Amino acid sequence: MSFDPQTGLPVQQRPSGGCFKSCLTMGCIGVVLMVVCCGGFTWMASSSFQIQNDPQIATLVGQEIAGGDLFDDFKATASIKVDLPIFGPVGKMAMYEGADKSMLMIGEVNANVAGTGGKEALEQKLREELQNNSSHKDLETISQKTRELQINGKPASFSFEHAKTTSGDQKGTEVWMVTGSFEGKTGPAFVVLVVPFGKYTEEQLVSKLETIK
């Protein structure tokens, strides 16, 4: 992932190789979610990013949100933290990659700046950003369902989408795209996951997500 040197915002690219590679550029979604929560302080937030490409720091950020590692075969690659001079911590996010070009993002927004909508508003914004993101447009939905999970004893709504890629050298590859929000430690949190369809069953993915604590 590359970042604009002036704003610190991720620069979205469309690399060759189909959905698996292009989905790795969706870190911009997490940043958009954090910035949206700041309302009129968008510029201030964008200038307050703490962007780290250190895997060790990214691992720690992810563990702070999830309470551990969700997938043993994923490696943390980058992290973002946003702190405003007036409000303090705004949010944080960690990004992971798998050897098979899988992708995982997990982020959390501080309740003090998340507004009144909480995780429901965050989930709505997540859906909007995914639909508008060019990476998602490279996917053709085969089936989709919404499931209510229990994360840390609280209900959490997740979308499980079985899809296939429509472009690139991996055209026709079937994937799971899982998105959802839950109540995190400091406020609403979210997950975006893309993995090969045959790697996990739906129930296996549910079991992993419900280990978040």
pTM of the model: 0.77
| Average pLDDT over all residues of the chain | 75
State the Cα–Cα distance between residues 24 and 180, nearest whole angstrom.
Answer: 17
**pLDDT band, very low/low/confident/very high, at 40 (cuts 50, 70, 90):** very low
Both tokens assigned to 159: 């979308």
Residue boundaries of the structural domains of the chain: 2-209
Q: What is the pLDDT of residues 82-104, one digit of tens each?
A: 777 776 777 888 999 988 878 89
* Strands laid side by side in the 139-151 sheet: 49-52, 74-84, 88-98, 103-109, 188-196, 174-183, 154-165, 139-151
Strands 49-52 and 188-196: unpaired
| Mean pLDDT, rounded, for 107-134 | 66
Strands 88-98 and 103-109: antiparallel
CA atoms of 132 and 157, how far apart (whole Å): 21
Q: What are the Cα distances from residue 124, in Å, to 12, 119, 144, 159, 203?
A: 21, 9, 16, 12, 24
Per-residue pLDDT band at 149 (split at 50, 70, 90): very high
**DSSP code string of 74-90:** EEEEEEEEEEETTTEEE
Query: Is the predicted pLDDT of residue 191 greater than 80, yes or no?
Result: yes
Contact between 162 and 143 (Cβ < 8 Å) = yes
pLDDT value for 9: 40
Give pLDDT, residue 59: 94
Sign of CA pseudo-dihedral 147, 95, 167, 172: negative
Q: Give the type of residue at 10.
A: P
What distance in Å separates the CA atoms of residue 191 and residue 209, rounded to the nearest whole number? 9
* pLDDT tops 50 at residue 206: yes
Show the DSSP H helices in 38-183 as ranges. 42-46, 55-66, 118-132
Q: Hey, CA dihedral for 79, 181, 148, 127, is it positive or negative?
A: negative
* Model confidence at 144: pLDDT above 50: yes
Q: Within 13 A of 43's CA, how many CA atoms are on the CB side?
A: 0
